[in-house]
Structures are given as structure tokens and as C-alpha cells.
Structure 1
Amino acid sequence: MSTNAVNANQGGFVSLVGAGPGDPDLLTVKGYRVIQQAEVLVYDRLVSEEILAIANPEAERIYVGKQLDFHCVPQDQINQILVEKAQQGKRVVRLKGGDSFIFGRGGEELEELSEHNISFEVVPGITAAAGATSYAGIPLTHRDHAQSVQFITGHIQKNGQEIQWSSLAQPNNTLVFYMGLKQCRHIQANLIEQGIDVDMPCAIIENGTRKEQRVFTGKLSELANLAEQAVSPALIVVGSVTSLHDKLKWF
């Protein structure tokens, strides 16, 4: 047991929990238990109602959802909420879609807790790249198609730095872009500029693992057009593994 977990009974405590990509059945057993025990639930937009229903009805619920071009609660304010509730001696669950450490800003929130000497633990969740592609019948790696996979954020970084596009143009590789739907034309142009074949198969997975899931497939040269048919949340996959979708789709 970690030191942080041992200290949980000595005051406030924060559990950073990944809720998974959408299907509530993909929540981990530990995540389920921790949510049940929460006195305060601080949750994001993509957490399903089925998962929220697990919590104690008497638990305080604080919605801090974010969506493209609109933040209900700024990140620094979310950090402050976690600190204040823990300092009140509460058992807090910070609930995020997917996995908190993969483009979930979980590390930033824990840094703030650490600076205030607040005990915490991390409960991993299934990240969208693994969950959505599995439900779409698209293996991230395959001996005949890809021996490596890269996860990339479609958002511009905080310091304004651009993606290192040249590092993505590797043979036998799968590229997965999070939060990149509005950037599809930019993504398409830069990958082609780096020498990736315009006929490279690609896919956009909308509402991955949810009953509303839709999968759009085509070629890299068609990626921007595919994006016009999809809505957020959506995951972009570029690589020959996406050609397996028609054969392996099951959901």
C-alpha cells in the first residue's frame, strides 16, 4: 500500500479516477469502489450518468466539465476546489473520462495537491485510444500492419509549440489523435507534407464505446471531409490497421 493511501485516514484525501472511454461497464473495479466511498465528486463532461449513479446520493457533486472552446470551470479553479475540499477533511474523487494521465491533465492537478501536502492516489482508466479502437475493430498494433503506436493531442500546447510532425512519419506506425476533430485539415496537410501516403487508411471514431458510436473510414486525403461528418468526442486514427475495421468490427 502506498504512503498516500496509508495517510488517507489522517485527513482529506483525493482519488484521481479514470472513468474510461464511455461504456460504464469499462470502469475498473477499484474505480467503482472508490466512487461509492466519495464524499465529494468532482467530475468532467464525458463521465456517463451510469457512472455518476454509483456515487452515494448524499455525496456532494461538482461539475467542472470542459468542451471544445468552452471551459465551465478554469483549470486553476478546479485545482483550488480539490485543495479546499481535501483541506476540509473530505474524501474527494476527481473523476475524468478515459485515463487521467493521458491528455487528462491529471498530473497538473496532483502537482497542486502535492504542493499543499494533500494525500492522493491514482486509479487508472481505459484510455480512449484503447477503448474506442477496440470497439471499432481497429487493433492499434498488428504484426502485418504496425509495430508501434503514438498518441498525440490535437490541441495546441500551452506554450504554443507545434507538434513535431516529422517524428510521426514512421513506417509501420499507428497514429492516434485525441481532441483533434477541428484540426483534421491541419493534421491531414502536415502528415502528407511529411511523406505519409495520401492513400494511407484512416478512421474517425465518434462516441467510442457508447451506444451512439459511429466509425468513419477513408484515406488520409479524405480525412478533413470525414471530419465534417463527425461530432465530438471523436478520436482520429491514421495507419494501415484501420483497414481491418470492416473485417473486425463487432460493436
Structure 2
Amino acid sequence: MSPDDFPAGSVWLVGAGPGDPELLTRKAARLIAAAEVVIHDALVGAGVLALIPDGAERIDVGKRAGRHSKDQPTIDALIVAAARAGRRVVRLKGGDPAIFGRTAEEVAACRAARVPVRICPGITAASAAAASAGASMTLRDAARQLTFVTAHARTGATLALDWRALAAPGTTLAVYMGRSAAATVMRNLIDAGRAPETPVLVVVNASLPHERVVHGRLSALAFLTETIGERDPTLLLVGEAVAPYGGDLGDDAGGEATVSRQVATR
């Protein structure tokens, strides 16, 4: 990588992708290899962290299941301080930095401090989840709109979303951090008019060797997520495009049949 691309005292916000190091962009890999300080999230895969040079300082600022190791102003201050010390700083974020990654706040902090900052995009979890299931997120004549939302809310706050808009037919809905909110998502979408039999896809640890992929229908979404651990990153996809293998889910006596599979360990 040219020194002009990553000068001393500058910051790159780098998308680490969903976890599999082979899904990193070539640019992301080069930036990580050139970094002197890497400030990383908890959701960055171990295989990606293994690419950090031995001499680089690693700072874990991860947030998991409501337990925050660092608040956002502290993270902003760490980034700025490392760059002001003349070091090449990579802020390494799971997925794509621009999707629910609080990138705007970190860019603003750098610019306020007159620290050069740039963004390297990455593969977002929704893309990896659909790929793992062999599914598409759009479908001609059936799914012309794709909406990303986060199910994360501030502690004590309700999940305030426009459920009527999200329940619109022809929409594929990707719900990030969706495990704990699955019952709320199910109930509100159905109440807003989304059909109970709408296909859903639940993907846990997308792209990693211990990934799980579960197909079902919207009316069973709460059940499908019951056994998922609170530390396992979970993405929900809702819509006709994610029906398994392009087919329906069948029916049992209760009308709640589900089809599930565990992805074989790679």
C-alpha cells in the first residue's frame, strides 16, 4: 500500500465483513497489514483479527449483549488520540462501517480534530446471511424493495419503527441484532398486515464455521430464535425472496411448519 494512501497520523474506518477473513476486500486486508493501531469491535471474526501485524497495538472496544466495554465518546477519543500521536489507525468494524456502525460519529470526531479519515466498505451481514442460505434478498415481481433496520434500542426504550411501512408487500426486511427482538418483530409485522405465512430466514454467526441457518415462517419467528445464545450475532430476513429453494414451507396440523438446517462445519 502506498504511504500516500495511509499516511502517519491518519485513520481508516475498515469494514471487516461478517467474520470469514476470505470475505475481506483486498483493500481492507492491506490496510490492516499497514496499521500501527487497530481499534476493533467484538463482532470482528477471529480470522480477521489474526491478520493484524504482531507489532500493532490492539484495542478491543466491543459491545456485546448490552455490556459495553467503551462508550462512543471514549472510542472517538481513542481514535483521535492515536492519530494525533502520529500513528496509522484502523478502526475495524464488523460488516460494513456505514450500516449501523456509528461511523458518522467517528468521522465527525476525526474531522473536528483535523485528523484525516477515510472509509473502506465491507460485506454487510445481510448479504452474507442470504448467501449462506443460497437465497436472494430481491425477487423479480415479488420483492422489489430491501429495507435494513436494527433491532437494537437504547436501554429501557421501546423498538420504535414504522411497522406499517416495514410490513408492505414486496419488501424484504433485514433485521440486524434481531435475536432478542424476534417476538416483537413478529407481532408488530403481523399486526401491521404482513401475512403470518411470510417466509423468514434466521442466520446465526453468518459466514463463520459454527454458522446456523434456519428457515421458517413469520408466525413462528419467536420460536425459531428461542435457543439462540445472547452472545451469538443473529440476523433476521423476512420476505418472499428468502423462501427455501424457492419453494413453500408446507403445512402441518397447526399451520406452523418450519424447515431448519445447520450449516456443515467448513
TM over 0.5: yes
1:58 matches 2:74 = no
| Aligned partner (choices 216, 221, 224) of residue 222 of structure 2 | 224
Task: Provide TM-score, normalisation by structure 1.
Answer: 0.91
Q: Give me the whole-angstrom Cα distance separating, in 2, the residues matched to 1:205 and 1:246.
A: 17
CA displacement 1:139-182 (0-9 Å, x = unmatched): 00011531111001101269977111111121111001001210
Unmatched tracts of structure 2, length 5 or more = 248-260
Which residue of the partner structure matches residue 149 of structure 1? 146
Match of 1:244 in 2: 244
| Worse-matched range after superposition: 18-27 or 46-55 | 46-55
Q: CA–CA distance in 2 between the matches of 1:125 and 1:39?
A: 20
**Contact kept? 2:129, 2:206, Cα under 8 Å:** yes
Equivalent residue, structure 2, for 1:47: 44
Q: Is the 8 A contact 1:44 1:63 kept in 2?
A: yes
Identity %: 40
- Give me the TM-score of the superposition, normalised by structure 2: 0.86
Corresponding residue SS for 1:82: helix
- Distance between the aligned counterparts of 1:125 and 1:97, measured in 2? 8
Shift of 1:185: 0.8
Partner of 1:119: 116
Matched, 1:137 2:105: no
- Once residues 6 and 60 of structure 1 are traced to their aligned partners in structure 2, the CA distance between those partners, rounded to angstroms, is 22
SS at match of 2:149: strand
2:86 alignment partner in structure 1: 89
For residues 1-251 of structure 1, what are the structure 2 equivalents within 5 Å? 9=7, 11-156=8-153, 162-231=160-229, 232-245=232-245
How many Å separate the matches in 1 of 2:50 and 2:33? 9
Could you tell me how far 1:57 is from its partner in structure 2? 0.5
Higher helix proportion, which one? Answer: 1
**Closer, same or farther: CA 216–95 of 1 in aligned 2, 3 Å:** same
Relative to structure 1, the CA distance from residue 23 to residue 8 in structure 2 (aligned partners, 3 Å threshold; closer, same or farther) is closer
Q: Which moved more, 1:61-70 or 1:136-145?
A: 136-145
On the 8 A contact 1:204/1:230 being kept in 2, the answer is no
User: What letter matches 2:160 in structure 1?
Assistant: E
Matched residue type, 1:141: T
Structure ranking higher on relative contact order (CA contacts 8 Å, 6+ apart): 1
Is this contact kept in 2: 1:203–1:216, CA < 8 A?
yes
What letter corresponds to residue 28 of structure 1 in structure 2?
T
**Aligned Cα root-mean-square deviation (Å):** 2.1
Distance 1:66 1:109 in 2: 16
Which string of whole-angstrom CA distances, capped at 9 and with x for unpartnered residues, describes residues 58-92 of structure 1? 01111111111111111111111001101101100
Q: Give the length in aligned residue pairs.
A: 245
Would the alpha carbon gap of residues 7 and 217 (structure 1) be closer, same or farther in structure 2, given more than 3 Å must change? closer
The 2-side partners of 1:72 and 1:151 are apart by 26
